[in-house]
Amino acid sequence: MNVIAFPKLGITLNIDPVAFSVGSKDIFWYALIIITGFFAGALFVYFTAEKRGLKKDAVWDIALYGFILGIICARIYYVLFALDEFNSFWDVFKIWNGGLAIYGGLIGAVISTVIYCRVKKISFLNAADVCAPGLLIGQAIGRFGNFVNAEVYGLETDLPWGMSINGGAPVHPVFIYESLWNVLGLILLLLFRDKKTANGQVFCFYIFWYSLGRIFLEGMRNTDYILYLIPNVLGISQAVAAAGIIAGIAGFAVCTKKKKIRLS
Report whether pLDDT(261) > 60. no
Residue 146 contacts residue 99 (beta carbons within 8 Å): no
Q: How confident is the model at residue 186 (pLDDT cuts 50, 70, 90)?
A: very high
pLDDT digit string, tens, across residues 139-168: 999 999 989 988 888 999 999 999 999 999
Handedness of CA 51, 53, 56, 61 (dihedral sign): negative
Q: Is 191 left (phi over 0), alpha (psi -120 to 50) or beta?
A: alpha
pLDDT given at position 1: 86
Stronger pLDDT, 198 or 91, i.e. the higher one: 198
Question: Would you state the torsion angle of the CA atoms of residues 20, 21, 27, 30, taken in this order, to the nearest 10 degrees?
Answer: 30
Helix, strand, coil in percent for the chain, rounding step 5:
65, 10, 20
Query: Does pTM top 0.85 for this prediction?
Result: yes
Question: Helix (H, G, I), strand (E, B), or coil: what is residue 200?
Answer: coil
Which amino acids are annotated as binding site, given as ranges? 143
Rg (CA), the chain: 19
